[in-house]
Amino acid sequence: MEFILHLALILVFTKIAGQLALKIGQPSVLGELLAGVILGPAVLGWIQQTSFIHEFSEIGVLVLMFIAGLETDLEQLKANWKSAFTVAVLGVLFPFIGGYSLALLFDMSQGHALFMALLFCATSVSISVQALKEMNKLNSREGTTILGAAVVDDILVVVLLAVLMSVLGTGESVSLGALIGKKVLFFGVIIVACIWLIPMVMKLFARFQVSETIVSAGIILALVFSYFAEYMGVAGIIGAFAAGIAISQTKHKEVVEHKLEPIAYGVFVPVFFVSIGLNISFEGVGSQLLFIVLISIMAIVTKLFGGALGARMTGFNGRSSLAIGTGMVSRGEVALIIAGTGLSSGLLDPEYYTSIIIMVIVTTLVTPSMLKFIFSRTGDTAEQRSVS
């Protein structure tokens, strides 16, 4: 029953830390992330990363992205698809170059350097989503561009990872055509399901007389979409996000959102935030302090610059471009998964694993504060230059 005590500690610490963060003018998610660092091996050592925490956090991030989908303006997302694509491409290109160059500077082999470059490309906007939500910016032009770019970024990174593992002989031979075909098939099936299947399922469940069928239907669809996404080689959070967008187009949106949010933010989402902090440990990092500082700075600057340049090129003003670039900085759970894959396949030198994890945590911790700082200076509405 120890997990019950751990869950109680997580909920207490995240709410107190979140409140303290708000008191000093920072997003509450920053405090919740730091709560994980404090509770974990880095400071108090009261809670370790266990299968229970991991699985609970998986549900937390899926629910978080599902709610983000429910609250996303689909028309706004469609209107900004060119910006999202450009932000994603440049947000992969610049970190790849920066990560590769830095790895060579530290005398890594070509294989390890290429994998380091790929790690720099990862983006997880789950943290940005929470920060944007707190600032009522999730449906702004910047917010929808960040969400759209995250989808494209995920596809690019997954394809690059598969190709890299095949070329370096750490995995089975990969057909690039088949790999891309799976991604195209995924989005084709998702679009068809969003148009026809989801409205039908929601309508069917609405006829049931048992309690809370509409909410259950929403959760079922989010989980099924997430599983299908993972099966097709796309991050599960993309599937959950797509399910949320689809349900947002039905008359059941308000019911699902209103009844799911208390459960999500009361229990599951806090565990996800804490789980990220639990991965950090300062044991043995003294000898790699310079490496950690340099990769953290490079990871932040290259992703921010790439994303901001993409936004600027597609018509956003300077500050909105910075906000979009900042929203792409967090590496979050996506980079943690890739790092684990690299470690098991031999593409990531075990000597650098802890340092990479710290870099991931640093990028995740700084994102909410940076977003808060930039949005506090952009005003309530995003200005956008006209594009000739």
Average pLDDT over residues 49-62: 87
pLDDT digits (tens, 9 = 90+) for 137-155: 888 889 889 988 988 887 7
pLDDT digits (tens, 9 = 90+) for 328-369: 998 877 787 788 777 777 788 888 888 888 888 888 888 888
Q: Which residues of 228-261 are buried (b: 16+ CB within 10 A; e: fewer)?
A: bbeebbbbbbbbbbbbbbbbbebebbebbbeebe
Q: Which residues of 201-213 are buried (b: 16+ CB within 10 A; e: fewer)?
A: bbeebeeeeeeeb
Task: Please report the pLDDT score of residue 88 as a whole number.
Answer: 92
CATH code: domain 1-47+54-377 is 1.20.1530.20
pLDDT digits (tens, 9 = 90+) for 300-323: 999 999 999 999 999 898 889 999
Average pLDDT over residues 48-65: 87
Tell me which residue of 352, 301, 311 sits closest to 89, measured CA to CA.
311
pLDDT digits (tens, 9 = 90+) for 107-140: 888 888 998 999 899 888 778 888 888 888 888 8
Whether residue 387 is predicted with pLDDT greater than 50 in this model: the reply is: no
Cα dihedral 120, 162, 336, 247 sign = positive
Whether residue 378 is predicted with pLDDT greater than 60 in this model: the reply is: no
Mean pLDDT across the chain, nearest whole number? 84
Task: Please report the pLDDT score of residue 353 as a whole number.
Answer: 81
Lowest mean pLDDT among 59-63, 269-273, 340-344: 340-344
Domain boundaries, given as residue ranges, for the chain:
1-47+54-377
Task: Please report the pLDDT score of residue 380 as a whole number.
Answer: 47
Helix (H, G, I), strand (E, B) or coil at 197: helix
Helix (H, G, I), strand (E, B) or coil at 251: coil
Task: Please report the pLDDT score of residue 169 as a whole number.
Answer: 57
pLDDT digits (tens, 9 = 90+) for 164-211: 776 765 555 556 667 777 878 888 888 898 888 898 998 898 888 888
Task: Please report the pLDDT score of residue 158 as a whole number.
Answer: 77
Tell me which residue of 326, 273, 337 sits closest to 299, measured CA to CA.
326
Top pLDDT among 217 and 378 is at 217
